[in-house]
Structure 1
Amino acid sequence: MEISIDNYFRKRYSLFAWRSNTSLVNKVIMAFFMACITGIMAQVIIPLPWTPVPITAQTFAVLMAGVVLGRWWGGISQIMYLAVGLIGVPWFAGLTGGYGVLLGSTGGYLIGFILTALLLGYFTDKYAKSRNFRPMLGLMLLANFALIYIPGLLGLGLWFYLVKGNFPTLLTLLGMGLLPFILGDLVKISGAAALSKVITPKEKY
């Protein structure tokens, strides 16, 4: 088998062209597979004593879902992840599941996963230039810190109110739901942007 940079580029292009034009059944299978990957990576957790929100690896899978599956199907994979977990399959962080998770401390982040995968899938498919490292890094930073953390913090604040009877201060909320995760997120985002540059074709497919 010939191994060359040109052959690598051709294979890369063929793979993404295939995933864009394959059957509905194959797209559903790929989306469910990515949902499973998200569930597996959700079990890589570091609990923090001052917050109910743990550090997890699943956001890496969420970021890659849009890139790998493209517009709509990246988001659909995260809808599958959420839906299957809500019916009771314990594949949310810490092997949890059930509809109660949506009203828990991490429910807003789960909604943000869907929005993030949709945005990245849209730009990956529509704009070839977005597949380079710098523009993808910018997109992932935006998606991660806006589309995941805004609904995540809103959900965390609502959970705090339901549990404590009052809303937390902004500083308390940020200390529980954003600030401890910034460094780890920057590492995951940088890795996901670098991997995206390697695996995606730079021509229109």
Structure 2
Amino acid sequence: MDIDNYYSTRKNVFERIQDASTATKVLMSLLMACFTGIMAQIIIPLPWTPVPITAQTFAVLCSGLILGKKYGCLSQILYVVLGIAFIPWFGGMTGGLETFLGSTCGFFIGFIIAAYFVGFITERYTKARNFTRMAIVIGIANFVLIYIPGLAGLALFLSTQGMTFGIVDLLMMGLVPFIAGDIVKILGAASVSKVFLPKD
């Protein structure tokens, strides 16, 4: 009986989020943007790259899971826009246009795309909400939709700094050091899907 109550409650909460008013959804998007900003302060700088390890991608991935494609995407747009405008909640309590246009610009763009993609799959395909399938979906969002624009932006930034680098150098600065931590965040977000999202 307890497990039935859990399933029922999980479905009711999910449906309430889906059926909430536009104002409520925008507020939830703002709260998720705040969560992303908080997670961005969990930071491990690396001496050989301008891109630090942060926990914010976990919040990015969860935004799509919890809020869906439209408002999950909106949460990351709010995170980026408010960070540029006046809230110093990018990694290391930084903000502003200069920070946005720096080495991590492509990753910010990837956050918006990834949140939309995860939300789209979550909304459209209920069978994708189990742990294994969602881990694959989130893995694609993380390693393809975040890292492709992220690495492109990093390459552009390094070029503007007059630095000479090869593809291996770029991967060592923008991808390889983050793989282990990203796998943990992907599994964590997939666990959120398993626990909180209804499967029917």
Q: TM-score, normalised by structure 1?
A: 0.95
Q: Which residue of 1 aligns with 2:165?
A: 168
Q: Does 1:147 align with 2:145?
A: yes
1:44 paired to 2:42 = yes
Q: Contact between 1:88 and 1:99, CA under 8 Å: does it hold in 2?
A: no
Match of 2:66 in 1: 68
**Match for 1:171: what amino acid?**
V
Measured against aligned partners, the alpha-carbon deviations of 1:122-181 in whole angstroms (never above 9, x if no partner) come to 110111011001110110110100000000001101110111x25521011000000000
- Separation in 1, partners of 2:176, 2:158: 17
Gaps of 5+ in 1: none
Which of 100, 106, 112 does residue 104 from structure 2 map onto? Answer: 106
SS of alignment partner, residue 173 of structure 1: helix
- Percent identity for Structure 1 against Structure 2: 54
Query: Structure 1: which amino acid aligns with 2:5?
Result: N
C-alpha deviations, 1:62-99, integer Å up to 9, x for none? Answer: 11000000121101100000000011310000101001
Could you tell me which amino acid in structure 1 is paired with residue 110 of structure 2?
G
> Paired residue for 1:198?
195
CA contact (8 A) 1:75 1:115 kept: yes
Does residue 1:21 correspond to 2:24, yes or no? no
Out of 78, 81, 87, the residue aligned to residue 79 of structure 2 is 81
Q: Secondary structure at the match of 1:71?
A: helix
Question: After the TM superposition, which parts of structure 1 deviate over 2 Å for at least 4 consecutive aligned residues?
Answer: none
The 5 A counterparts of 1:1-12 are: 4-12=2-10
Q: How many residues align?
A: 200
User: What's the secondary structure of 1:72's corresponding residue?
Assistant: helix
